[in-house]
């Protein structure tokens, strides 16, 4: 009997093991389920954010009266993206509270400050170039909006109207009254679309250009307007699917770039002086100067040489105003016939030495075309010794790089009819076609496969963003991508009524800005340890993906966030993407900047190590800030 019972425990041992295994699996499943439920409960759902992002306060026509207060809480409360007029500071969480700057800083442009600029050389207008404050001069306060600031008009109404209280400058309406740049009508500005050389309006002027070169075939997509005024040329090109980068200096024509951006038209503060424009080589299909007062013939033709650098092979340069048609206008321009003839002859000579072909001169317009390649140009150097072909290593280098008086070389070709660097697709196919810089392998580490993967990634991201950002409702027009990479964000947004300033950090390991231009989008180089070349309150939505991981060891990220606050309009939004550690630091700073913020799910779920922080800038004005202080 003993032998019979001695074997019984072995018979039941497998069942006992199964019971223990079932118990362990059950407990583990409960733990995982509890974690998922906890993560779900503590992560804001996009559907909830969709409700709070909806525009429920002021309409696009705005209201200057006081409304509901805007509580500035930490991320534990839901974001309120509705329009408001007063701010209530919440000091919870121990964040540093940044005070408002004096109202005199309302239009402060740190790197184009007129007072600082006077200290620099006036030769070649160097004093109007970027001159940024030293570390000890950086402000640690919030740039105030002007009293009674109002939400800008929605696009496309904003093309023609802006609120006077947002940019209280009448100078241009008086100085340029005859030329119909801008008019004051009650509480708003109206932009009739006029210009110095197009009194019939920008639309008619563009029609005149279209009669000479094809603007609507899709071959011309990117343009640059040098000395843009209030950017009416760029504004009216948009209806023809042409995206213009307009720039002008901060000079006696007060706030012209600010007017352009308030209209919802791409623009930057900039000048042709001694340094290269902050754009890559072969970026623009068309360049334009309408009485821009740039001395093209001076300094050995250096400014036209710089236009040649940024112009694509086969691209056009359009000139109107002095000296074109000088025989008709010389008296009105208050210049002698001899002087104007000499200037035009000098411009014609520089263009010929650049190997440009003059397409036509008709009425007020003269148009030249850059060659498709340099095969014939190299041969012509036997006749025209200067300017010679540059021997520089990287024609795309443009951040604080001096202009050169030599021709930027084009990529080599095998035949005279081949487009140097590769031909581009027509717009809109260009947006998703593989850029020639990628197919040629000129950017290390970026392949065709990565390009397609990036497009798919941004398609998913924007689809996710739509859950809490009303992209199609006209609330956002001017958008900035602070770390644009291949321009996937801009491409995914191309079907919405927005435009994107694609920024590639100047110290990035991969220079991808040329790829972005080859896709038919615009952008610039920028070192985010310095201020951007724009006025305050000029962007509606800012995207910062991985930016602070790049800069957290290079400079104080507090100053980057204060710069974002400067260029973001009241009630504008920011999307941060980064690691948890970085975003917690960011949130600790913006809690003291009159912003509200909230973490939201990553598009792939709560377990992705990359997190998303969405923030909104509160509404307040300089006048309100002074009352609260």
Residue 161 within any structural domain of the chain: no
Residue 179 within any structural domain of the chain: no
Domain match, 204 and 338 both: yes
Please tell me the predicted confidence (pLDDT) of residue 30.
66
Rounded to 10°, the helix 580-590/557-567 angle is 60
The Cα 305–Cα 311 span in angstroms is: 10
SS3 at position 248: strand
Question: Does residue 54 surpass a pLDDT of 70?
Answer: no
Q: List 87's β-bridge partners, or say none.
A: 70
Q: What is the DSSP letter of 621?
A: B
Domain match, 520 and 618 both: yes
Domain match, 317 and 454 both: no
Question: Does residue 46 surpass a pLDDT of 60?
Answer: no
Average of per-residue pLDDT across 467-477: 89
pLDDT digits (tens, 9 = 90+) for 170-208: 776 666 555 667 889 999 999 988 777 888 899 999 999
pTM over 0.85: yes
Backbone angles phi, psi at 298, to 5 degrees: -85, 170
Residue 555 within any structural domain of the chain: yes
Rounded to 10°, the helix 337-353/302-310 angle is 40
What is the span of the domain harbouring residue 366? 199-380
DSSP string spanning 587-619? HHHHTTTTEEEEEE--TT-TT-SEEEEEEEEPP
Query: Helix and strand tally (H, E) in the chain?
Result: 20, 19
Domain match, 226 and 95 both: no
Domain match, 342 and 223 both: yes
Domain match, 436 and 369 both: no
Domain boundary among 380, 395, 417: 380
Domain match, 512 and 617 both: yes
* Residue given tokens 């290269």 in the structure block: 276
Domain match, 330 and 439 both: no
Residue 120 within any structural domain of the chain: no
Please count the structural domains in the chain. 2
Residue 181 within any structural domain of the chain: no
Distance of CA 263 to CAs 158, 177, 551, Å? Answer: 5, 19, 32
Of residues 30 and 408, more confidently modeled: 408
Distance of CA 314 to CAs 201, 224, 347, 349, Å? Answer: 28, 15, 19, 19
34 pLDDT band, cuts 50/70/90, is: low
Q: What angle do CA 112, 106, 127 make, to 5 degrees?
A: 15
Q: How many residues would you count in the chain? A: 629
Domain match, 592 and 529 both: yes
pLDDT digits (tens, 9 = 90+) for 318-361: 999 999 999 999 999 999 999 999 999 999 999 999 999 999 99
Asked if residue 329 lies in contact with residue 320, where contact means CB atoms within 8 angstroms, the answer is no
Lowest mean pLDDT among 56-60, 464-468, 535-539: 56-60
- Cis status of the peptide bond prior to 75, with omega within 30 of 0: no
Domain match, 359 and 237 both: yes
Q: List 407's β-bridge partners, or say none.
A: 389
Backbone angles phi, psi at 604, to 5 degrees: -95, 0
Residue 12 within any structural domain of the chain: no
Domain match, 351 and 248 both: yes
Residue 39 within any structural domain of the chain: no
Domain match, 203 and 340 both: yes
Residue 52 within any structural domain of the chain: yes
Average pLDDT across the chain, whole number: 86
CATH number of the domain within which 540 lies = 3.40.50.150
Distance of CA 72 to CAs 69, 611, 622, Å? Answer: 9, 22, 17
Q: What is the DSSP letter of 195?
A: B
Question: Does residue 18 surpass a pLDDT of 80?
Answer: no
């Amino acid at each position: 009997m003993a032998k019979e019972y001695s074997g019984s425990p072995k018979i039941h041992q497998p069942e006992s093991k199964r019971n223990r295994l079932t118990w362990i699996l059950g407990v583990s499943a409960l733990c995982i389920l509890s974690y998922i439920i906890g993560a779900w409960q503590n992560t804001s759902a996009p559907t909830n954010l969709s409700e709070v992002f909806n525009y429920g306060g002021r309409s696009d026509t705005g209201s200057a009266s006081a409304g509901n207060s805007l509580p500035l809480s930490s991320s534990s409360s839901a974001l309120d993206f509705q329009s408001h007029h007063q701010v209530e500071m919440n000091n919870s969480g121990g964040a540093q509270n940044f005070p408002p700057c004096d109202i005199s800083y309302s239009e402060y442009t740190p790197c184009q400050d007129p007072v600082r600029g006077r200290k620099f050389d006036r030769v070649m207008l160097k004093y109007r170039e970027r001159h940024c404050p030293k570390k000890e001069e950086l402000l640690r306060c919030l740039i105030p909006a002007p009293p009674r600031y109002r939400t800008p008009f929605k696009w496309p109404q904003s093309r023609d109207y802006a609120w006077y209280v947002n940019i209280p400058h009448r100078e241009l309406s008086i100085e340029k009254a005859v030329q119909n740049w801008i008019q004051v009508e009650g509480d708003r500005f109206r932009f009739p679309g006029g210009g110095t050389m197009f009194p019939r309006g920008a639309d008619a002027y563009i029609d005149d250009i279209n009669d000479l070169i094809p603007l609507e075939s899709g071959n011309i997509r990117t343009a640059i307007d040098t000395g843009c005024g209030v950017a009416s040329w760029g504004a009216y090109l948009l209806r023809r699917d042409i995206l213009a980068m307009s720039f002008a200096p901060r000079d006696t024509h007060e706030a012209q770039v600010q007017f352009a951006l308030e209209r919802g038209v791409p623009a930057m503060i900039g000048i042709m002086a001694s340094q290269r424009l902050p754009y890559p080589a072969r970026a623009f299909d068309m360049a334009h100067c309408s009485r821009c007062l740039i001395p093209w013939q001076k300094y050995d033709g250096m400014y036209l040489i710089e236009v040649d650098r940024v112009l694509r092979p086969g691209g056009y340069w359009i000139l109107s105003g002095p000296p074109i048609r000088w025989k008709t206008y010389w008296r009105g321009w208050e210049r002698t016939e001899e002087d104007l003839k000499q200037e035009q002859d000098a411009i014609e000579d520089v263009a010929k030495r650049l190997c440009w072909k003059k397409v036509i001169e008709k009425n007020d317009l003269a148009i030249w075309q850059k060659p498709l390649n340099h095969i014939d140009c190299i041969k012509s150097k036997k006749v025209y010794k200067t300017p010679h072909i540059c021997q520089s290593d990287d024609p795309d280098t443009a951040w604080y790089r001096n202009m050169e008086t030599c021709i930027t070389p084009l990529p080599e070709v095998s035949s005279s009819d081949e487009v140097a660097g590769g031909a581009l697709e027509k717009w809109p196919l260009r947006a998703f076609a593989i850029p020639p810089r990628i197919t040629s392998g000129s950017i290390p580490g970026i392949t065709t496969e990565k390009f397609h993967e990036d497009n798919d990634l941004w398609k998913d991201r924007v689809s996710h963003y739509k859950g809490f950002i009303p992209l199609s409702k006209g609330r956002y027009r001017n958008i900035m991508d602070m770390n644009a990479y291949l321009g996937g964000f801009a491409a995914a947004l191309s079907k919405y009524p927005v435009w994107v300033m694609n920024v590639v950090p100047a110290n990035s390991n991969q220079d991808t800005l040329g790829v972005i231009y080859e896709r038919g989008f615009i952008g610039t180089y920028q070192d985010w340890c310095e201020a951007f070349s724009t006025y305050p309150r000029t962007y509606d939505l800012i995207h910062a993906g991985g930016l602070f991981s790049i800069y957290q060891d290079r400079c104080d990220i507090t100053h980057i966030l204060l710069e974002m606050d400067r260029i973001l309009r009241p009630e504008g939004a920011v999307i941060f993407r980064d690691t948890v550690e970085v975003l917690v630091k960011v949130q600790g700073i913006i809690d003291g900047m009159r912003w509200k913020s909230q973490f939201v799910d990553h598009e792939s779920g709560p377990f992705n190590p990359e997190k998303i922080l969405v923030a909104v800038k509160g509404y307040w004005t300089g006048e309100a800030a002074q009352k609260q202080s």
